[in-house]
A and B are shown apart, each in its own frame.
Chain A
Amino acid sequence: MSQATARNRPKHLNLFQIRLPIPGIVSILHRISGASLFLMLPFLLYLLQQSLQSPDSYIHFRALVGHPLVKLILLGLLWAFLHHFCAGIRYLTLDMHMGTDLAAARSSSYAVVGVSLVMTVILGVWLW
């Protein structure tokens, strides 16, 4: 590494100038999906409660999840869950020192993004 290159390194991290490598994209999406799932926990618990409380609340639950806006939110959360799941499995395998070289880390990252998107479409179409 030459002196000039070292001097030209960015002093701060500008999110609009960084070109994040694919494992980095999986990582930040892991965060975003986890945070979204956390923020929606009360809504999900409310849905579970409505689905179980009584026959009347069950009807209310069915009406709620039948609403297009709620369906859209749940579709988003389905993706968040599937991405968090797949990326999580990837991190567990990395912990066990599997697929840690650059090529494998990149291809498993593409797999995480791809599989979670395809699963979201399949389950989303089926459940819509």
Chain B
Amino acid sequence: MVRRVPVGAHYGLRDWLVQRVTAVVMAVYSLMMLALVVFAPPAHYGAWKGLFAQQWFRLASLLFALSVFWHAWVGVRDILMDYVKATGTRLALQVLVVLSLVAYALWSIQILWSIS
């Protein structure tokens, strides 16, 4: 007889996958940036700004930033679940982390799209 145990919010597999997909996105972007810095370093403000003025680079950077924030959420939540045993404190910290990460995401968009 198969006994199904209907417990949990079932976000485990999704988070597991999110952690890995965002990791691959960040790794690809990081290697691209490393190649850029090694082979064609933007030596002055104009070159640095010009790089971010390109739409594809801006979108790639946003994708990287959002991957960082989502990845950080899964990781920090795991750390909080492991070490903060008091439910109220843990939930408060988790809310603080979520709000911070949402603010960082909005800030990133502002930084990337305020370049003329």
Contact = CB atoms under 8 A, between A and B. Distances in A.
Interface of A: 31, 34-35, 37-38, 41-42, 45, 48-49, 51-53, 55, 58, 81, 85, 88-89, 92, 95
Given A34-B75, A85-B30, A52 B48 contact: yes
B114 interface: yes
A45 B108 contact: yes
A45 B107 contact: yes
Q: Which range contains the number of B residues in contact with the other chain?
A: 20 to 34
- Interface residue SS majority, chain B: helix
- Interface residue SS majority, chain A: helix
B11 interface: no
A41 B111 contact: no
Nearest to B75: A34
A52 B27 contact: no
28 contacts: A31-B79, A34-B76, A34-B79, A35-B76, A38-B72, A38-B75, A38-B76, A41-B68, A41-B72, A41-B100, A42-B100, A42-B104, A45-B104, A45-B107, A45-B108, A48-B111, A52-B48, A52-B111, A52-B114, A53-B114, A55-B45, A58-B48, A81-B30, A85-B30, A88-B27, A89-B27, A92-B23, A92-B24
